[in-house]
Structure 1
Amino acid sequence: MQRWDRIEAFVEVVRAGTFTAAARRLKVSSSHISRLVSQLENQLGTTLLYRTTRQIRLTEAGAHYYHHCRHLFDGFREAEAAVKDLQARPSGILSLTCATTFGERFIAPLINDFQCRYPQLGVRLHFTNRQVDLIEEGFDIAIRMGHLEDSSLIARRLCERREHVVGSPDYFTRMAQPHALSELSRHRCLVGSRDHWRFAVEGVRREVRVSGPWEGNSGPALLDAALKGLGLAQLPDYYVDPHLASGELISVLDAYRHDDTAVWAVTPRHRHRSPKVVQFLDYLVTHIDERLHADR
């Protein structure tokens, strides 16, 4: 190790032109640099530098030695840069889980675009409407909706997501539009992946259990049932916005719509600094709104 320190000091002195400048580059004292070069000369048994008060000059032996040594440290620096670059580039396998429809429509295209940028990165996608245990099942990222309960995870907000209670005009020719949450019990409620709907009453979160003649765990199927007048459904904006705009669906109980329905990316604490996770989340935050608007 001492030999490398001495060689590095010698090479930097030649490159910088003075002991002072070399010391500044290596962040040590000039006397330390001078001592290292003298030790190297003693070790080699020859003088490498002619020293004057104004300048230094290579001896013949010094010129030969410098010619052979200068590339060593260039190689070391290139090797260090290569390792840092490898660490900075996303690599390995990026594993992500998300609710099925949102994942297929919005997350999958973005992660595919990201992999086009970094083809050395592998991807594992798992779309499910159940809440996955990230640590137990080995995922780097989960995309979750609404209120977050697991404080052991690092969360990053991606975008807004609003939920609407909707019915078709045909349904409302048969049933009066509800204006209070208590009226839901008189309606045919289409039950999705959960049997309670979320609302806010004077800023306080409230859940209302619903029931009806239709139940399923598919968002598109739930939307189709609502469009065909089978009952009321609570669905996020990315399902219903086009149909609200066209008049195919009518949103009710908007005064009770709650606001804690954002979309979040959550990661285990031991993985949130991984280059593949950090860079994909940055990419996701930058492009998610663009993808949402393009889809709509």
Structure 2
Amino acid sequence: MTKIWQGISEFTAVAETNSFTHAAQQLGISVAQVSRNISELEARLDIKLLYRSTRKVSLTEEGALYLQHCRNLVSSLDEANRSITNLKLTPRGLIKITAPVYYGENHLAPLLNQFLLAYPEVELDLQLTNNKLDLIQGSFDLAIRLGQLESSSLIARRLSSRTQHIVAAPSYLKKYGEPQSPAELSQHQCLLGSVDTWRILNAQGKPISFKPHGRLRCNSGPTLLNAALCGLGLAQLPDYYVKAAIRSGDLRMLLEDYRLPDDGIWAVYPQNRHLSAKVRHLVEFLVERL
């Protein structure tokens, strides 16, 4: 099995440096060993990969094709080695994170402060925004995303879950009555957020999108919460906005039989970016505490 790999690193290094000498220096072995391992590789494949002369090294047509695959193999092997090495490392260095504003301020930031206390060699750059920033373009190590994830090339790790509640103040319900089914929502004033629809179940238990209407629209959850508390209408908000008001009786949950199953709170990161020790430790830290 070992011989299958023998010569691949040497061939890739020679192809990329156009020099047996430079390849040997890069790999920390002798020129003779580089040459011998590549010759054995060519013999196993029964194909000539390199043209050799005293002045020049160049790829054959078959060698150019083989190089494309070898680069991926060498890169994957390097990544595997780094992964194992990072298991032993103490988190250190800068971690750049983006997260939604309210959730970041009230739930994420306190935990990040604890993480900084636990790991003195870590630095954090936390950018709070409700816009979904491009992680690659912004050089972010990690993003915190809420709810249903869009299809993308990002890798996601579930940190926790959230429940979406439809709520209203007792004063509103006393004046306008309580909806008994999703069909009755159209008869009520609804407080509109940044999305145009509410996701609920219909009478048959199937997910549907309801388009609410009302006098107030705002992309701020706390503003919608305050409006609901004032009795201005119904709001659909995550549990971390409304749980205290529900506990105190200032808000009542509505249509709970038609509520969708909980959705996720996620840590996402680019799939082509190695999850370093510092980021891996942070993700595990958040999973444990959220």
Which residue number in structure 2 is paired with residue 107 of structure 1? Answer: 108
Secondary structure of the structure 1 residue equivalent to 2:165: strand
Which residue number in structure 2 is paired with residue 94 of structure 1? Answer: 95
* Structure 1 position 274, deviation (Å): 1.1
* Structure 1 position 86, deviation (Å): 10
Work out whether residues 129 and 193 of structure 1, in 8 Å CA contact, stay in contact via their aligned partners in 2: no
Which residue number in structure 2 is paired with residue 242 of structure 1? Answer: 244
CA deviation string 1:106-159 (max 9, x = no partner): 111111111122222221111111222222222111111121123411111111
Which residue number in structure 1 is paired with residue 282 of structure 2? Answer: 280
Amino acid at match of 1:215: R
220-229 or 208-217, which moves further after superposition? 208-217
Counterpart selection for 1:262 from 240, 264, 269: 264
Which residue number in structure 1 is paired with residue 75 of structure 2? Answer: none
Amino acid at match of 1:157: R
What is the rounded CA distance, in whole Å, between the counterparts of 2:277 and 2:108 in structure 1? Answer: 19
Structure-to-structure mapping, 1:196-235, within 5 angstroms: 196-201=197-202, 202-235=204-237
What is the rounded CA distance, in whole Å, between the counterparts of 1:243 and 1:86 in structure 2? Answer: 44
Work out whether residues 162 and 261 of structure 1, in 8 Å CA contact, stay in contact via their aligned partners in 2: yes
**Distance change in 2, residues 1:203/1:94 (3 Å):** farther
Larger radius of gyration: 1
Which residue number in structure 1 is paired with residue 39 of structure 2? Answer: none
What is the rounded CA distance, in whole Å, between the counterparts of 2:104 and 2:222 in structure 1? Answer: 13
Secondary structure of the structure 2 residue equivalent to 1:135: coil
Which residue number in structure 2 is paired with residue 174 of structure 1? Answer: 175
Which residue number in structure 1 is paired with residue 117 of structure 2? Answer: 116
* Structure 1 position 95, deviation (Å): 1.1
* Structure 1 position 226, deviation (Å): 0.3
CA deviation string 1:224-268 (max 9, x = no partner): 110010111011111111211211111111111111422111111
**Distance change in 2, residues 1:198/1:125 (3 Å):** same
Work out whether residues 87 and 277 of structure 2, in 8 Å CA contact, stay in contact via their aligned partners in 1: no
What is the rounded CA distance, in whole Å, between the counterparts of 2:257 and 2:99 in structure 1? Answer: 29
Work out whether residues 95 and 125 of structure 2, in 8 Å CA contact, stay in contact via their aligned partners in 1: yes
Secondary structure of the structure 2 residue equivalent to 1:122: strand
* Structure 1 position 210, deviation (Å): 1.4
Structure-to-structure mapping, 1:1-296, within 5 angstroms: 88-201=89-202, 202-271=204-273, 273-288=275-290
Secondary structure of the structure 1 residue equivalent to 2:106: helix
What is the rounded CA distance, in whole Å, between the counterparts of 1:96 and 1:115 in structure 2? Answer: 14
What is the rounded CA distance, in whole Å, between the counterparts of 1:232 and 1:86 in structure 2? Answer: 49
Alignment length, in residue pairs? 206
Work out whether residues 189 and 210 of structure 1, in 8 Å CA contact, stay in contact via their aligned partners in 2: yes
Amino acid at match of 1:267: Y
* Structure 1 position 271, deviation (Å): 2.8
* Alignment TM-score, normalising by the size of structure 1: 0.65
150-159 or 194-203, which moves further after superposition? 194-203
**Distance change in 2, residues 1:141/1:85 (3 Å):** closer
CA deviation string 1:83-116 (max 9, x = no partner): x589722222211111111111111111111112
What is the rounded CA distance, in whole Å, between the counterparts of 2:278 and 2:271 in structure 1? Answer: 14
Amino acid at match of 2:145: R
Could you tell me which runs of 5 or more consecutive residues in structure 2 were left unpaired when the two chains were aligned: 1-84
Work out whether residues 154 and 272 of structure 1, in 8 Å CA contact, stay in contact via their aligned partners in 2: no
* Structure 1 position 272, deviation (Å): 5.1
Could you tell me which runs of 5 or more consecutive residues in structure 1 were left unpaired when the two chains were aligned: 1-83, 289-296
What is the rounded CA distance, in whole Å, between the counterparts of 2:289 and 2:276 in structure 1? Answer: 20
CA deviation string 1:262-284 (max 9, x = no partner): 21111111235211110000000
What is the identity percentage for the equivalent residue pairs of Structure 1 and Structure 2?
45
